Amino acid sequence: MSTQKLTIRKWFRENLWRHAVALGMSIFALFPLYLVVISSLNPTGSLQLTSFIPREISWNNYKLLFTSPAIPFLSWFRNSLVIAIAVAIFSVFIGASSAFAFSRLRFKGRKQGVQILLLVQMFPAILALSAVYVIMERVYKFAPNLGLGSQAGLLLVYLGGAMGVNIWLLKGFVDSIPVELDEAAKIDGASPMQIYWLIFVPLAAPVLAVVALLSFIGTLNEYILARLFLVEMESRTVAVGLQQFIAGQYSQNWGPFAAGSILLSIPIVAIFLSLQRYIVSGLTAGSVKG
């Protein structure tokens, strides 16, 4: 009996503080999410909590997003999904192709191209905001569908900004793939394109899933470029459209803003859960070359 008591005391002394720290950090991380959920159900449209458990729950904020004629929330939601999915697909395709070329193929300017990609990543993307605005404004003069104010132009800007990081991430993974696989395929008569589709793509599925996930989440939550490019009400994304609820100094309505944020998080959670089995292996892919 005394031995059992000593074991319990030892467990409390050595492990209790770990559980307390973990519980405190979990509460700290989950409280903002709880605040957003409660605010979306708050009929007053305020962030103030009179009690930890609300006495009154209302779905009016959600109904407002779908019934108000002045709020094209479904159009915003569709625009966000279309742009985010397009960015994810093209980022994976262009990034994987470029990474395979830089890692496996030998061509003039290959080393300089890799160095330029690394150099570009040293500067914050916000520094190019003015230049991108001027460029797309001039593009609008001869190609309105690709210039300022168009979703296609915003898509091009997103792809250009994400290519450097994606290529470096994927190149590290390609470098970790044994060259002997390529040589064996070449002996069997495989072309570089066949090696890419039949060897690289199946092996790179985890890291490609991570790149797609990060691109999708980053695009869906992006605000600055979307606010700069998308001017018309119908063409806006959710992040830009919901901003009008909290833009006024004396007319801030956090209820619909929180409700729209909750709805916007549903696709992210769904894709995250569907790609969960790839995420752990994909995040560490290419980190160690063996």
Structural domains of the chain, ranges and CATH numbers in brackets: 2-63 (no CATH), 72-283 (1.10.3720.10)
> Residue 87 corresponds to which amino acid?
V
- Cβ contacts of residue 134 below 8 Å, gap of 6+? none
Task: Find the length of the chain.
Answer: 290
**pLDDT exceeds cutoff 70 at 1:** no
Q: How many Å apart are CA 194 and CA 43, to the nearest integer?
A: 59
Q: How many Å apart are CA 111 and CA 176, to the nearest integer?
A: 18
Q: What is the pTM of this model?
A: 0.82
**pLDDT exceeds cutoff 60 at 2:** no
- Interval 88-98: pLDDT, tens: 999 889 888 88
The answer to whether 159 and 225 are in contact (CB under 8 A) is no
> How many CB atoms lie under 10 A from the CB of residue 50?
10
pLDDT band at 288 (very low <50, low <70, confident <90, very high): very low
Report the candidate in 192, 164, 35 with the shortest Cα–Cα distance to residue 98: 164
Q: How many Å apart are CA 87 and CA 263, to the nearest integer?
A: 20
Ramachandran sector of residue 279 (left: φ over 0; alpha: ψ -120 to 50; beta: rest): alpha
Per-residue confidence (pLDDT) for residue 78, from 0 to 100: 92
**pLDDT exceeds cutoff 50 at 286:** no
Q: How many Å apart are CA 126 and CA 145, to the nearest integer?
A: 24
Per-residue confidence (pLDDT) for residue 133, from 0 to 100: 84
Mean pLDDT of 39-48: 76
pLDDT band at 287 (very low <50, low <70, confident <90, very high): very low
Per-residue confidence (pLDDT) for residue 6, from 0 to 100: 57
Report the candidate in 181, 161, 18, 175 with the shortest Cα–Cα distance to residue 91: 161
Count each helix (H run) and each strand (E run) in the chain, helices first: 14, 0
Lowest-pLDDT choice from 1-5, 81-85, 102-106: 1-5
Per-residue confidence (pLDDT) for residue 82, from 0 to 100: 92
Dihedral sign from CA coordinates of 205, 210, 213, 214: negative
Per-residue confidence (pLDDT) for residue 139, from 0 to 100: 85
